[in-house]
Amino acid sequence: MLIRFLAMAAISLWLSVAGAASDPIIPAPPQLAASAYLLMDARTGKILVDHNSGQRLPPASLTKIMTSYVSAFELQKGTISLSDEVPISVKAWRMKGSLMFIQEGTKVRLEDILRGIIIQSGNDASVAIAEHIAGSEDSFADLMNQHALRLGMFDTNFVNSTGWPHEDHYTSARDLAKLTGVLIERFPEHYQIYSEKTFAYNEISQRNRNKLLFRDKTADGVKTGHTEAAGYCLVASALRNGMRLIAVVMGASSESARATESQKLLTYGFRYYETVGLYTGDESLRKVRVWGGKHSSINLGLAEDVVVTIARGARDNLTANLEIDSEIHAPLKKGQELGSLTVTVGSNEPVKRPLVALNSVEEAGFFSRLWDTINLFFLKIFGGDPLRIE
């Protein structure tokens, strides 16, 4: 049996539960000239715009987001270092398409190789780092696919590190958004490279192909791609007033179009939505009575922050409910689930999180437990609240 509590009665927060206004008016999302596209709040994972986001499509050089992700993962593990001298093979040197212009038989610092991949979109650099990390590009592609499965990228399969066309090499807009969100969250220092506008190697300076970096000061990534089969693609991200959005556009008609269409998504998202932090992890939301414990009370809260994406103007529509176990008995362990918090935003799907013990309570001795049992018995007879702190 559960007892329901309005969060406003239990917590000193600004969430409104009465007299809520109707849902804000939001226009239909922009319709883009692209095969597939998606707009996502990076922090909450909320999808704001979706068109064919699960369709498997050739990613071209968007593949290199995973190439750099695996590199960042290995750097964090310590299996490679930014100061590594990466040997350049004949295979890497002979690559076609976009290039860093590294020379066969030489060695290049891994830090430079990464910039060659991210900024210059170098196919030669991508093969070089794949061979350096895994021994061969085929083995590296296997690493890429294992990471993809761990990240829940179930519409993705990689055959190479570059995005060079292959019938079995594909991904989806949704999977690319997932990957990008995790990349930004787990490897923020590595992600900073994506915002760099130029990089020069071997006396050849190249501009970042992401035009949004030059048009929008809040844009700080991510990656472009193009082949005849894939069309013009762009994964873009921007941060404004604490809200980060990720836009994925695949199959646009031109280099200019992919930037313009991506900007449409970002403008729409920032204008009509906001990211709102409601609660912080380890914040006490309710103090309740504990029966049979060495301590007579315990603080309940959340294991992690609660952050939601809502329409601008919808804050007055937020409601929150606590559901707490009707009786709480020791022993209790920190993190033990004792109820739930449900936040509803107007007509949107509710957000539900476990309500947990913020501290442990050991079981009391025999006579203390007996005394609590007697007190609880009479409390129930007279209709008292077993959770109330006296």
Active-site positions? 61, 64, 121
Residues 6+ apart with CB under 8 A from 192: 220
Is 161 buried (19+), middle (13-18) or exposed (0-12) by CB count in 10 A?
Answer: buried
Is 47 buried (19+), middle (13-18) or exposed (0-12) by CB count in 10 A?
Answer: middle
CA–centroid distance for 357 within its chain: 26
- The CA-to-CA distance between both ends of the chain, in Å, stands at 22
Q: Which two tokens stand for residue 257?
A: 């179009």
Structural element, H or E, at residue 50:
strand 47-51
Positive/negative CA dihedral, 85, 86, 88, 94: negative
CB atoms within 10 A of CB 166: 14
Spatial distance between the Cα atoms of 63 and 140, rounded to a whole number of angstroms: 12
CA–centroid distance for 374 within its chain: 50
